[in-house]
Amino acid sequence: MRRATMRDVAAAAGVSFKTVSRVVNDEPGVSGPLVDKVQAAVAALGYRHNLAARSLRHSEQRTASMAVLLQDLSNSFSAQLMRAIDDVARERDLVVMATSLDEEEEREHGLVANLIKRRVDGLIMMPASRDHAYLQREVSAGFHVVLIDRPPINVDVDFVVVDNVGGAKQATNHLLQQGHRRIAVITDEVRVATARQRLDGYRTALAEAGVEYDGALVRAARSREAAAEAVQELLASANPPTAVFSARNVITEGTALALRRAGLSDRIAMVGFDDVPWAELLSPGITVIKQDALAVGRLAAELLLSRMEGSTDPPRHQVLPVQLIPRGSGEIQTS
């Protein structure tokens, strides 16, 4: 059950297959009657234009496609990035390939190689790896890459990140202002750049306030459950925190869960990094440092498109601001 080709259509319509090509591509220079005959044959045979063959021959070998590599497409932050990127791509009729890296470096390398073999026109990636030098060769060969959420390491390419250090400082300062001195922080694993930056911001804020850093208040957790456990342990410790800075959305979930279970939602203050859709449904509402995922995604897509359209500007480094949204949980004072 082979698909019909232009030659098949040409034979059925009694014209040359170049005429079919003209009709299919809406090129001028074909008489009305012939156009009709060709279209009739196309319909009769169920012919479908083959874009792969087209782009192979076409002068500028574009595939009108791009790829998005995130860590976990089911995470709401990533899902929003994807959505924003897709919205921009849609305007240009670009198809978007998307997948999750799950912080696996090997997977990142394999996928980038695979996508280049497929000749996607560009890539937006939240990198899992900590060395992006391997991208240099591809970028030099004309492959376009925009990193997102995490800055490039050992290579200079376009990127869009948010002010993680500033946001974490702001979160910590906010809690300090409510009188808290024992502020726990739960972050992602330190190999993740954003986790390191947010921890930096936390430490800087403490230092500036003259509050001593206490490693016992710092935990790493990847999942919601791990975060909940970490908070539970901290609460049960000899010298428990009076406030928590949860440095990532799933950690915020885990923290809220642990506080609820302990019946301490109204006693222990918390500020989360990254807004969550249910933040205002809780009592108290969750105070967060909001990063505008849609803006990050949109901007990254626009940077990529400008490259695909020929921009040769030097690599552009975009750091978007974040915003503290007080909703109650972060305004709980020390008693």
Query: Which residues sit at the interface with its own copies, rule CB under 8 A?
Result: 1, 3, 46, 48-53, 55-56, 63, 65, 67, 72-76, 78-80, 82-83, 86, 89-90, 93, 95-100, 113-119, 137-138, 140-142, 224, 253, 256-257, 260, 276-278, 280-283
Work out the number of other CB atoms within 10 angstroms of the CB of residue 278: 13
Phi, psi of 106 (to 5 degrees): -60, -40
Residue pair 229/159 in contact (Cβ under 8 Å)? The answer is no
Nearby residues of 130 by Cβ (< 8 Å), 6 or more positions away? 105, 153, 191, 193
Residue type, 151: P
User: By C-beta, is 8 or 214 nearer to its own copies?
Assistant: 8
Shortest approach of its own copies to residue 234 CB, angstroms? 18
Span of 49-57, 177-185, 205-213, 287-295 interacting with DNA by CB under 7 A: 49-57
Q: How far is CA 260 from CA 15, 159, 182, 266, 268, in A?
A: 74, 38, 20, 9, 10
Shortest approach of DNA to residue 124 CB, angstroms? 25
User: By C-beta, is 109 or 118 nearer to its own copies?
Assistant: 118
User: By C-beta, is 56 or 209 nearer to DNA?
Assistant: 56
335 binds, among DNA, its own copies, none (CB under 5 to 8 A by kind): none
User: By C-beta, is 34 or 95 nearer to DNA?
Assistant: 34
- 240: cis peptide before it, omega within 30°? no
Helix 17-24 and helix 6-13: axis angle, to 10°? Answer: 110
Shortest approach of its own copies to residue 172 CB, angstroms? 23
User: By C-beta, is 51 or 207 nearer to its own copies?
Assistant: 51
Shortest approach of its own copies to residue 231 CB, angstroms? 13
Phi, psi of 316 (to 5 degrees): -100, 130
Nearby residues of 108 by Cβ (< 8 Å), 6 or more positions away? 69, 101, 125, 127, 128, 129
4 to 43: interface string for DNA, x by CB under 7 A: -xxx-------xxxxx-xx-xx--xxxx-xx---------
